[in-house]
Amino acid sequence: MPELVVGKTSPKDFEDLRYTAKKAVETTEFWKEKFSGIDIENLTPETLLSKLDSLYITPKDLYNIEKVWPNYIKNCDIFYTVVRTSGTTGQPKRIPYTLDDKKRVARQFIPWVSEYLEKGDRIASFFPPLPSASGIMGYGGLEELGVKAVYYQVPIQFIRMPDILISELRHIRPTVLFSLTTTAFLLGLKLPDDIKEDLRVILVGGETLTEELAKATLENFPNAIIIDTFGSSEDGAVGYRVITKTKTTKFSFPESIITLKSIEEEEYKEYHKVYITKVMKEGELTGLPLFNYEIGDLARVENGEIKSIIRVKDAISLAGATLYLDQVISIVHRYPSLVDFVILYYPLSPDNPKPKAIIRVGYMGEKPAGIEDEIRSLIYEGNNPVRYEVEESKQAELIIEAVPAEKVREGLPQKPGKTKRIFIVGKDI
């Protein structure tokens, strides 16, 4: 049974939701059809919940620009820019982004900006600039809020050029870092202590963050806290939580309505599909109205709380079973001597009838005895379907390799596949 979790669900927000629906039906063919027969005047979050199987939109729907983009966008009645997101649908999605979207992202930022950013902060952002959504949202949201800080755009390519990277950061002397989740962890291993000690705030997103990975990251940044953001190009900075060395707050979704739907398979009962509803304020015109956007991401829920949000790209299929990246992260970072890992994924294809995953873990110092067998057993313990497909039915293959840390990323394919940790070998069909 789906469950409405958090977000703009109080009665004072209902008029904003109804305005959003009215404007969507008035201007957008897609929603005119979807809302047929629904009483918008009395629309509530519970309505969205009850209509989850019919009132929704998927990433692939976004390619149908004629039906999905509002008239005021297609007619160029207002100024907008177009951001680009590759997603996991096989081709880029192009999303209209208006000045009202910029205001909305700023409202999403307010809770953590007001508490954790200070006058004079120097922000080093490894988020890509336009046409990427993350770059324009990060810069635009802070600009809209009038934050008295400086925003440095650091080329992502510098991650692979340690000397240039350190020279750049010595010039910037950043106090705040914006980056992908994996990038922050790797910077903690590469940067000199004086640069790491200056960092007070690390904002991460785009990839799954488990508490184990957060702890491993914070161990390398002695004075920092982590702001873990859940964002989407279509909706902005949807949610966030704050992680310190001693405490993790609950996820907060200040401007969206979030619905969770449990996965039917018993083995994955802690995983829930995430649906996003984007709520405009009276008078706003955002690029895309969204109701129950089936983004494909999953929430891992324990005792009624979201423990982590798993990006849809952070999973691989081993025959009939799914291996989630957050499971591997939580296992690897139990061991202080293991500092990095990647997954080489050989997906099912005509040339490869047996999918295979090689999890390559990197250790510091002496190789821990029996570590490969221990990691494999922990994966099987936490994921029975993978054990069955690999060990019993032998329809897939799972290999664990432990190598010195400096060799973890040697000889990888030129570009990562589904995430910065999963590298696809061959064609993923």
* Residues 222-259: tens digit of each pLDDT: 999 999 999 888 999 999 999 999 999 999 999 999 99
Does residue 427 carry a pLDDT above 70?
Answer: no
pLDDT for 298 equals: 84
pLDDT digits 0-9 by tens, 80-94: 999 877 554 446 688
Residue 310's contacts (CB-CB under 8 Å, 6 or more residues apart) are 208, 271, 297, 298, 299, 300, 324, 325, 326
DSSP strand pairing (271-278 vs 150-153): unpaired
Q: Do residues 185 and 159 make contact, with C-beta atoms less than 8 angstroms apart? A: no
Mean pLDDT for the chain? Answer: 88
Instruction: Give the residue among 399, 402, 341 at the shortest CA–CA distance from 366.
Output: 402
pTM tops 0.75, yes or no: yes
Dihedral angle computed from the Cα positions of residues 406, 407, 408 and 414, in that order, rounded to the nearest 10 degrees: 110
Instruction: Give the residue among 378, 329, 61 at the shortest CA–CA distance from 215.
Output: 329
* Confidence grade of residue 190 (pLDDT, cut at 50, 70, 90): confident
DSSP-assigned letter for residue 184:
H
Question: What is the mean predicted confidence (pLDDT) over 113-127?
Answer: 95
